[in-house]
């Protein structure tokens, strides 16, 4: 089970009421809990998802259909799977990473350090999109890959991809691929 830790603006956008929120616990998913923030670029709502354990991140853009709470699990699974595929992770590792995302509880972001990382990543994405000429001209896949290849202080100057590869290559990941009862890391 994972907790999707949302900023206040995401909770408001999804229509989540305070009484519907849960307390975030440690996740047994390989990449841990996820944090999500949103911002507007070129008049489009962008949602930034970030793994709390590896700082792996990707963006999803809201199209004609609004993001709804009932669709967030599928969006997270699809976005993560696509990112790992673009980064050329082996299919078994992609399956292991996505497998633990099947049950989601929504909560508010509380960890200020993680919120700082999430905000910094959102700024980085916005800057790169703007610098590349906006959504119409940028290569969002390349931006996402390059952001995840950058060193992160919180990760001991490793990149999000390096930390993710290390976790997904661990013996815990191999056991988790066969079932959903992997021990917490």
Average pLDDT of the chain? 86
**DSSP string for 149-175:** HSEEGGGTTEEHHHHHHHHHTSHHHHH
* 138-147 pLDDT per residue, tens: 999 999 999 9
- Give the residue ranges of the chain where pLDDT is below 70: 64-65, 103, 172-185
Half-sphere exposure of residue 35, counting CA atoms within 13 Å on the CB side?
26
Task: Pick the closest to residue 121 from 24, 54, 69 (CA basis).
Answer: 54
Query: What is the per-residue pLDDT for 173?
Result: 61
Residue 148, Cα to own-chain centre: how many angstroms?
A: 11
pTM: 0.88
């Amino acid at each position: 089970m994972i907790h999707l830790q949302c900023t206040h603006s995401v909770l408001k956008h999804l229509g989540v009421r305070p009484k519907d929120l849960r307390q975030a616990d440690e996740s047994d998913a390989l990449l841990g809990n996820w944090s999500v923030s949103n911002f507007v670029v070129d008049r489009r709502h962008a949602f930034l998802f970030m793994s709390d354990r590896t700082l792996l991140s990707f963006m999803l853009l809201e199209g004609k259909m609004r993001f709804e709470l009932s669709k967030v699990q599928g969006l997270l699974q699809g976005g993560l799977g696509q990112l790992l595929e673009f980064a050329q992770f082996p299919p078994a590792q992609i399956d292991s990473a996505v497998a633990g995302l099947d049950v989601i509880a929504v909560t508010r972001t509380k960890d200020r350090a993680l919120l700082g990382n999430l905000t910094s990543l959102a700024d980085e994405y916005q800057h790169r999109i703007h610098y590349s000429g906006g959504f119409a001209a940028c290569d969002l896949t390349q931006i996402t890959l390059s952001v995840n290849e950058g060193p992160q202080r919180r990760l001991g100057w490793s990149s999000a991809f390096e930390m993710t590869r290390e976790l997904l290559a661990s013996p815990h990941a191999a056991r988790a691929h066969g079932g959903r009862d992997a021990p917490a890391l």
